[in-house]
Structure 1
Amino acid sequence: MAVTFSDLHTAEGVKALESHLADKTYVSGDAISKDDIKVFAAVPSKPGAEFPNAARWYETVSAAVAARFPGKNVGVNLPGAGSAPAAAAPAAEATKEDDDDLDLFGDETEEDKKAAEERASAKVSSKKKESGKSSVLMDVKPWDDETDMKKLEEAVRSVQMEGLTWGASKLVPVGYGIKKLTIMLTIVDDLVSVDSLIEEHLTEEPINEYVQSCDIVAFNKI
């Protein structure tokens, strides 16, 4: 018999799921089943830290679904899912669909696989798109007091890549007439590595004509 919950777009619905999973690994017991897939599809996002059992279960099922359909956007349009919190039907309504419509963990026909892939939407892939950002403060040091700092900054800012945004900057005296460039930048964590930015761009030709070294002063998640 299918396991159902109240509207999983609400805190009450997720609370019921949390309670149900208190002594279970999966919705229907110790093995992942169609019930888990249907409930997973009805949960709009990973439950918060206040729901540890539900959050652990969500991550496990999410990984299983992603492994089953690598590269596919599997999630909100699987049987049991709604398109948005305001318009979504309760999960109890969704579970009335024929259990044979989707079988992610049993034998599947080619038609079943095609139908499942056509239902694919943004839940699993959107988690990647929602990558975090970081704010970085960097010191860029010239070779000597004769280095043209205006050209140095222009060279630094000439590095352009997806996920990288240069911010405010200033020149800071370090002694003996030498100044360093202190500059802010924002990066998308999954797209830009600060180490690679320094090693493969800022200290390589032609920028290393001006830049002697770079130091990360501060690195904070946004």
Structure 2
Amino acid sequence: MAVTFADLQTEAGLKALDEFISGKSYICCGKFTKDDVKVYAAISEKPSGDLYPNASQWYETVSAKLALSFPGKAVGVSLGGQGSPAEAAPAVEAKEAAGDDDDDDLDLFGDETEEEKKAAEEREAAAKKSAKKKESGKSSVLMDVKPWDDETDMKKLEEAVRSIEMPGLLWGASKLVAVGYGIKKLQIMLTIVDDLVSVDNLIEDYLTVEPRNEHIQSCDIAAFNKI
């Protein structure tokens, strides 16, 4: 539904403005234009920051812009006979900024222009690029890998462990530790990229399933530290 200047005197109109201006600095094209002055002039007072936070922030931004445009003069504009709270600003200057045409029936919040769509796409692409550049966290893990019995070939057990290769997984130093009755366990270090590797999945889906479970009876996490 079209929203006109007259609607901006109502709660529904201010709500529409607040939703439209969300995520934007200005009404159109990502920069301060006469459209901002037109809408600003149609609002009788600054929108409530509690009810219309986006519109309120935009109103302050436009007020600052107008103050820079008319230094030393009260900030206020008029349009179509309507005045803002400060009537002291010259209507002629505001009219020149807003344009001489009668825009009372202008659809303020219609479809996005091609420039707005392009700007939005560029912002989205930049955000995705920034997210990709962000380095994922890493963790250092000390894992105990236990054999079935004292007859398990520990060399083959370690080979089975190290044969697992996946992005974000790096095997480190290892040693055999006696646990009693002639049985030894393999204690091995590994470094993982947290976003790529889950230690629980590594154990459940790779280490303790065929064919590696021929040598590996169970695995435990002895230590887990963020790098």
Task: Give the structure-2-normalised TM-score.
Answer: 0.49
**1:113 aligned residue (87, 95, 117):** 117
Gaps of 5+ in 1: 1-30, 39-104
The residue matched to 1:34 in structure 2 has which SS?
coil
Correspondence for 2:24: 34
Alignment of 1:198 with 2:203, yes or no, is: yes
How many residue pairs were aligned?
126
Correspondence for 1:207: 212
Alignment of 1:130 with 2:135, yes or no, is: yes
Correspondence for 1:155: 160
**2:148 aligned residue (140, 143, 150):** 143
Shift of the 168–126 alpha-carbon distance from structure 1 to 2, 3 Å rule, reads: farther
- Alpha-carbon distance in 1 for matches of 2:207, 2:126: 36
Which residue identity is paired with 1:146? E
Shift of the 148–190 alpha-carbon distance from structure 1 to 2, 3 Å rule, reads: same
Percent identity between matched residues is 78
Correspondence for 1:173: 178
- Alpha-carbon distance in 1 for matches of 2:114, 2:151: 69
- Alpha-carbon distance in 1 for matches of 2:23, 2:118: 20
The residue matched to 1:108 in structure 2 has which SS?
coil
The residue matched to 1:198 in structure 2 has which SS?
helix
RMSD between aligned residues = 2.7
Which residue identity is paired with 1:144? D
**1:219 aligned residue (181, 200, 224):** 224
